[in-house]
Amino acid sequence: MKIRDLSLAEFRARLGGDGIRLATGPFNCRLQSGIPELADELARLYAHHPLIDDKPFVDFHVGVQPGHGLRRWIAPQARFVVDAVEPFTPLPRGQALPMLEWGLNWCVTAYCHHILVIHAASVARGKHAAILPAPPGSGKSTLCAALVNRGWRLLSDELTLIRLDTGQIMGLARPVNLKNASIDIIRAYAPDAFLTRPILDTTKGTVALMAPTQASVETVGEWADPAWMVLPRYRAGSDATLTPMGSGAAFMQLADNAMNYHVLGARGFKAVGDIIDRTHNYSFEYSRLDDAIAVFDRLAAEGTAE
């Protein structure tokens, strides 16, 4: 059974009660919230995710709850709660939905050291995946959202999960976090995609979440092999240009963006090295999304021809 099979009333009741139990790639999550107004958008973001109803092991028990006491009415707050613990300062109630998403990301980075966790987007064509590590503002999420709406499948927008045994990428297929100008760009580029209403004044500026495509969610269990490491940079007016990157520089890019590189020690070093051994590495400058997609499609065609 999928989230979309629940009526909104049923979804809302579960969310406010014992929680919605769903699977996002390798993780089972239980989402709870006493903030009913986020139910509608949350249900649409996760429409294609499978419900897990037979009470299995849950990796993350998380919720966003309203503020205590007067904070329900005066300057209302949202609190992120992970199994009765509140690790973070509350945010304004209007930011409850992104808070839930960021909180889930935090759970992965805080609790999961059986895998290498890289702060990067990743997308795949069949079994071949491109990893896009990049600092905020580089247009990583915009490019990722565009690719996903043009036939690539979303593995992850924010956190790329690498198995330490096989070096494969395990997809998450959770919503894509779009910021500022990229919200309207993606609305225009992919009118069929579901985007939440823009949420103003977050620490990342204006934010909207884009639902992963149905195909991405349904094939999330198919782990992908890293084939390309592409460091994107948006520059207004530029042509889409791929520049090969030396493996030393590529290694440093991945290691810098690996959230638990230091925690994993020698295993982290080996995992990053193994990825770089398998990937073609590029830096990539672009401005027009169609041109960028064409470049990625060409990469995919060459990659499968090999």
Side by side, the strands of the sheet bearing 60-66 are 20-24, 27-33, 60-66, 77-82, 91-92
Our finding on whether 88 is near another protein (CB under 8 A) is yes
Q: Which of 49, 93, 119, 179 binds another protein (CB under 8 A)?
A: 119
Our finding on whether 194 is near another protein (CB under 8 A) is no
Our finding on whether 61 is near another protein (CB under 8 A) is yes
Alpha-carbon distance 129 to 168, whole Å? Answer: 9
Residue with Cβ nearer another protein (36 or 87): 87
Our finding on whether 102 is near another protein (CB under 8 A) is yes
CB of 158 to another protein, least distance (A): 6
**Buried (b) or exposed (e) across 103-133, using 16+ Cβ within 10 A?**
bbbbbbeeebeebbbbbbbbbbbeebbbbbb
Our finding on whether 260 is near another protein (CB under 8 A) is yes
For residues 129 and 144, is the Cβ–Cβ distance under 8 A? no
Provide the 8-state DSSP code for 4: G
Query: By rule CB under 8 A, what count of residues binds another protein?
Result: 39
Our finding on whether 56 is near another protein (CB under 8 A) is yes
**What are the backbone angles phi and psi of residue 10, rounded to the nearest 5°?**
-65, -45
Stretch that binds another protein, among 125-133, 205-213, 223-231, 262-270 (CB under 8 A): 262-270
Instruction: Locate 216 and state its tokens.
Output: 């991405």
Q: Largest alpha-carbon pair distance within the chain?
A: 63
Contact string 216-255 vs another protein (x = CB under 8 A): ----------------------------------------
Among positive and negative, which fits the CA dihedral 104, 110, 113, 116?
Answer: positive
Pairing of strands 205-210, 128-133: unpaired
Our finding on whether 263 is near another protein (CB under 8 A) is yes
Q: Which of 80, 234, 282, 296 binds another protein (CB under 8 A)?
A: 80
Footprint of another protein (CB under 8 A): 28, 55-59, 61, 80, 83-89, 91, 99, 102-103, 105-106, 109-115, 119, 136, 158-159, 203, 259-260, 262-265
